[in-house]
Amino acid sequence: MSPIRLSVGDVVHHGGLVRFDAPLWLWLAFLAGLAALLLLDLAVLHRDAHTISLREAWLTSAGWISLGLAFTGVVWALLGEVAAGQYIAGYVIEKSLSVDNVFVWAVVFSYFGVPAKYQHRVLFWGIFGALVMRAIFIFAGVALLERLSWLLFVFGGLLLFTAWRVWTHGDEEIHPERNPVLRLLRRFVPITSVYDGQRLFTRENGRLLATPLFVALVMVEATDLVFAIDSVPAILAVSRDPFVVFSSNAMAILGLRALYFLLAGARHRLVYLNRGLGLILAYVGLKMLVSDWYHINAFVSLSVILLILTLTIALSLRASRSPKEVAP
């Protein structure tokens, strides 16, 4: 069967999924847009260190989510309906799986006593590093799946295993001090216990030392690396196109800083979060395992994931209501 020609790029049927060859100009335009948004956030919106209020968190979170959803229209206009369906499904998967990462950040910041007004700067560089790591993971994953199709079963099995761990161990207490990355860092990098504003490094008696802010940043990057091992295969279950996968990942990640300040204190209310994330991972794992025999439409996947998220939030809020809230 010959490839189907669209207005932009070619469409190649691959393993039940449709791949789009986005042109170089589209990649360059998207990357330039990402850079502009990061610079706007760092140099304009958060130039001065300050504590993020709940109102600011609501507004910025709504803005980032609106931007991510609106980009669906861009993908639709340039690459077509199928690409738009893959993009929005990938966006929702990454956004939902990232919620757990947000709560881990809260534990890291609490452990290192990072002042609230400096947390945004740590998350900015953390998000920047996450974008670079995700790009590497995505291109490597797509290349491996194209050459070694049997890796579908490896990735699918990994997602099912992770789903089981998330379902059964989601409420385990997190202990940053036991993290091997932190132990290694403390062994080889001289660290001071004193903060020096938003600086990652400082000098004491002429000696260059890492501040606790740098240590917190390394821990944030380490946790994102772990979560990327789950989320990237999950998105590859709904799309095998590098541009669609990376753009959906990037647009979801851009709003994580605002989402952190919005949800950091709400973990105790989302009592079924681990069950919902486990179901999402199990679904995309099964979708990947059966993709060679049966293709599930991206819009169907989106509907399933949104249904799971809606039920998870509704049941969690109902179960966590205080006696005063349920009283007539």
Please tell me the predicted confidence (pLDDT) of residue 296.
75
This prediction has a pTM of 0.77
DSSP reduced 3-state for 5: strand
Domain range list for the chain: 4-141+174-263
- Mind listing the pLDDT tens digit of every residue in the chain (328 residues)? 333 334 444 444 444 566 787 889 999 999 999 989 888 776 666 666 667 777 777 888 888 899 999 999 999 999 988 899 999 998 988 888 877 777 778 778 877 888 888 887 888 888 888 888 888 888 888 888 777 777 778 877 877 887 887 787 655 556 666 667 778 888 888 888 788 888 888 888 778 888 888 888 888 888 777 777 777 888 888 888 899 999 999 998 888 877 887 776 566 677 787 888 888 888 888 887 887 777 777 778 778 888 988 898 888 878 877 554 444 4
Please tell me the predicted confidence (pLDDT) of residue 4.
37
Please tell me the predicted confidence (pLDDT) of residue 244.
93
